[in-house]
Amino acid sequence: AQKDNRFKVVHKENAGVSAARNTALDIAKGKYITFLDSDDIFHENAIMFLYNECIKNNADIAIGGVKDIKKDKIICQTRKYKTLLNQEEALNEFFSEKFYKCVIWGKLYRVDLIGEERFNTELSVAEDFDFLFRILKKTNKVILNTVEQVYYYRHRENSAMRQKYDKKFEKEIDLSENVLKDVEKNFPAVKDKAIRRYQRVIVSCIDRCFRENEFASNADYL
């Protein structure tokens, strides 16, 4: 930041990742925005690649490939695929998670597409799913090009998704149910994929309960 005035450093009391991202959205001045979690890595040409994909295809969002890293070893990566998606196709892929994940990173967005949308600070899991769904509801065209790996996601043992069972995980069930109702009303063509995603969330939550022997005491909802 001292060497390049295009960088801005913001100091604020820790209020969670959603609050931090909202602060960034509030002060963003450019035409495009992307997200990088604190311990993950961008490929050195990631931003330029995603930007060029947006421009060439007149797309609202560009999505690149992701490599998952654990202890500095690549354990998996997204399938290599390239296609231009309309809104319905983008939502279909969003729910199936076949070629891209329901996360905000590894993507470049037009700032005016996001507009006043912000992350729900009351969610401590599935906040990406909630935000990305709201953005995709407003998009017309998405370029998906996972042939190029732009983002390296580091697996951490203490991440939110690897914490012990907590009631907060059940919020994702409520969220997925509300999203399903929205889909049934406004995007019926992708209803089946939304149902399958809802089912996966329920099964995942139940599985977590059983694995940690917390079913009787903590999972009243289920």
Residues 6+ apart with CB under 8 A from 217: none
How sure is the predictor about 222, in pLDDT bands with cuts at 50, 70 and 90?
Answer: very low
* Percent of the chain at pLDDT exceeding 70: 90
For residue 180, with 0-12 CB atoms within 10 Å meaning exposed, 13-18 middle and 19 or more buried, which class applies? middle
Angle at 8 between CA 4 and CA 10, to 5 degrees: 150
- Averaged pLDDT, 192-205: 92
pLDDT band at 74 (very low <50, low <70, confident <90, very high): confident
- Top-confidence residue, 204 or 117: 117
Query: What pLDDT sits at residue 115?
Result: 94
pTM for this model (two decimals):
0.88
Q: Is the pLDDT of residue 79 over 90?
A: no
State the pLDDT at residue 172.
87
pLDDT at 162: 52
Given a cut of 60, whether residue 220 has pLDDT beyond it is no
d(CA 108, CA 130): 17
DSSP-H helix ranges across the chain: 17-27, 46-57, 87-96, 111-114, 127-136, 168-186, 191-211, 215-218
Task: Note whether 139 and 60 are within 8 A (CB).
Answer: yes
- Provide the pLDDT confidence category of residue 21 given band limits of 50, 70 and 90: very high
Residue 199: band (very low, low, confident or very high) from pLDDT cuts 50, 70, 90? very high
What is the C-alpha to C-alpha distance for residues 1 and 152, in angstroms, rounded to an integer?
23
